[in-house]
Amino acid sequence: MANCRAFVQVLLFCALSCQAAASYAPVPAKEDFLGCLMKEIPARLLYAKSSPDYPTVLTQTIRNSRWSTPQNVQPLYIITPTNASHIQSAVVCGRRHSVRLRVRSGGHDYEGLSYRSEKPEKFAVVDLNKMRAVVVDGYARTAWVESGAQLGELYYAIAKNSPVLAFPAGVCPSIGVGGNFAGGGFGMLLRKYGIAAENVIDVKVVDPDGKLLDKSSMSADHFWAVRGGGGESFGIVVSWQVKLLPVPPTVTVFKIPKTVQQGAVDLVNKWQLVGPALPGDLMIRVIAAGNTATFEALYLGTCKTLLPLMSSKFPELGMNPYHCNEMPWIKSVPFIHLGKEAGLDDLLNRNNTFKPFAEYKSDYVLQPFPKPVWEQIFGWLAKPGAGIMIMDPYGATISATPEAATPFPHRQGVLFNIQYVNYWFAEAAGGPPLQWSKDMYNFMEPYVSKNPRQAYANYRDIDLGRNEVVNDISTYSSGKVWGEKYFKGNFQRLAITKGKVDPQDYFRNEQSIPPLVEKY
């Protein structure tokens, strides 16, 4: 899902399969949900709350410590499938015994709704951590990737097959494929190749009846909805077939920090117009923290051709040959995320010990900010409890795609996206950061998109609204409050599709698409 440059490591998945089955789940006395599961799924893949390993399995990929605290409603069971039939069995058993399923791939869900509930609820988690296969067909320029794979694992497998193929998804290598693609998925290739979801050409999905579908056996609306309509609404996506895209043998990366004293305000003020208007081969994003704006760029070409382009389009930045870092595309991924010392092994690292408490929000900008607003923004970034702002320029391919092509609607007219990120490291220390995030978001309201104020679905923000459940169905009116902020005019089509695919609203959470059943 999203930029997470601070998330350097992922907790190593323990080799639990060698333990006795009894340590995973108790033997049921009768045909209940667990007994139903155990008929089709090995006991070593099931964890009840009474299992000794349950706490480890639950928390191993939780990235936001806010959702690890005891007051969060936890799942009754965790299911760790190794193939599609296990997922099908989980759905069938869940429907039969009235146990809902939530689905976790990488654990980066900002609000933790893939593994927790805000209110008491009888649910289990399907944790896709064991389903991480990537199969690349270099000749066809396609790949099948399972939802539990991390983006870094996908990128690594592609580059191992060919140094001149790539895929446009998120910046952070530890993000799970399933969540990233489900909400759209964008990174440093967004201006050249758009979002991940629009480059998905087939899927394998377990629907609410437990059937395994692909593009040929599902409706066109269902296929449209799973590619950007958010996770956990239309079934469980087991795997994705993606179209691989060409990159040159050498790309160029630079990171240029500028402080306020060095003219950061003027530079960001210029960037907001230049960044979205550059050729699609060049992406320059800005990370603003404290009194510093860092300009991070990926150029699909050599330093020799980048220099005159920068001299022509953005001379004020002062980019010169010493800023250039030339490398194959695959090496640019850890470089941008972790820095110059990072290597390809970091793309495969699942050992995470960095689990801060965190708050995230997002905005879309359609009109350039006046310079005095940038001055005020840097004032906000210097306040106690301040977070950072990550700004991604749009334009080129991502903005040229029609809004209705995918559920992800943030296209023509968008200058840039903002992600507000705030971390703290003790539960009791959240007061100032949370207050800053709220106040900063309120301050920005006059200057960002309106009617609706847009947000990115993968930067999930529960403050935008929650579903209300009436007669065991999420209401369309409550979903519309937050849904149109993520999906604009596409929300209604998503809800109508939900009404056809899952009219009983089995797959749901606090921000899942509610079913809208058409009346004829």
Unique residue bearing structure tokens 């930029």: 3
The pair of structure tokens assigned to 505 is 């609203």
**pLDDT, position 415:** 98
**pLDDT, position 471:** 97
Task: Provide the mean pLDDT of the chain.
Answer: 93
Kindly give the residue spans of alpha helices, DSSP state H, lying in 382-430: 396-400
The pair of structure tokens assigned to 305 is 């051709």
pLDDT at 408 over 90: yes
**pLDDT, position 453:** 98
Percent of the chain beyond pLDDT 90?
A: 91
- DSSP assignment of 148-192: TSBHHHHHHHHHHH-TTEE----S-TTSBHHHHHHH----TTHHH
Contact 310, 323 (CB under 8 A): no
Name the residue among 178, 241, 171, 190 with its Cα closest to residue 401: 190
* 7-16, 310-319, 346-355, range with the lowest pLDDT: 7-16
**Strand order from edge to edge, sheet including 100-104:** 46-48, 77-79, 123-127, 100-104
pLDDT at 13 over 80: no
**DSSP secondary structure letter of residue 101:** E
pLDDT in tens, 282-337: 999 999 999 999 999 999 999 999 999 999 999 999 999 999 999 999 999 999 99
Contact 239, 207 (CB under 8 A): no
**pLDDT, position 352:** 77
Give the C-alpha distances (Å, rounded to integers) separating 145 from 184, 188, 262, 474: 16, 20, 45, 31
Under the banding of pLDDT at 50, 70 and 90, the label for residue 519 is: low
pLDDT at 15 over 50: no
User: Mean pLDDT over residues 147-165, rounded?
Assistant: 98
User: Mean pLDDT over residues 471-481, rounded?
Assistant: 98
Count of helix runs (H) and strand runs (E) in the chain: 15, 20
Cα 418 from Cα 2, distance rounded (Å):
11
Q: Which domains does the chain possess?
A: 33-127 (3.30.43.10), 134-246 (3.30.465.10), 251-327 (3.40.462.20)
**pLDDT, position 312:** 98
User: Mean pLDDT over residues 90-94, rounded?
Assistant: 98
pLDDT at 20 over 90: no
Please report, in angstroms and rounded to a whole number, the separation of the first and last CA atoms in the chain: 38
**pLDDT, position 518:** 74
**DSSP secondary structure letter of residue 232:** S
- DSSP assignment of 299-335: ESS-HHHHHHHHHHH-GGG---GGG-EEE-HHHHHHH
Cα 131 from Cα 124, distance rounded (Å):
18
pLDDT at 520 over 80: no
The pair of structure tokens assigned to 41 is 């799924």
**Strand order from edge to edge, sheet including 282-289:** 325-327, 251-259, 292-299, 282-289, 388-393, 416-424, 357-365
Cα 437 from Cα 359, distance rounded (Å):
7
**pLDDT, position 353:** 76
pLDDT at 469 over 60: yes
Exposure letters 110-123 (e unless 16+ CB within 10 A, then b): bbbbbbbbeeebeb
Secondary structure of residue 484 in the 3-state scheme: helix
**pLDDT, position 6:** 40
pLDDT at 45 over 90: yes
pLDDT at 39 over 70: yes
Cα 367 from Cα 137, distance rounded (Å):
42
pLDDT in tens, 51-79: 999 999 999 999 999 999 888 999 999 99
**pLDDT, position 30:** 61
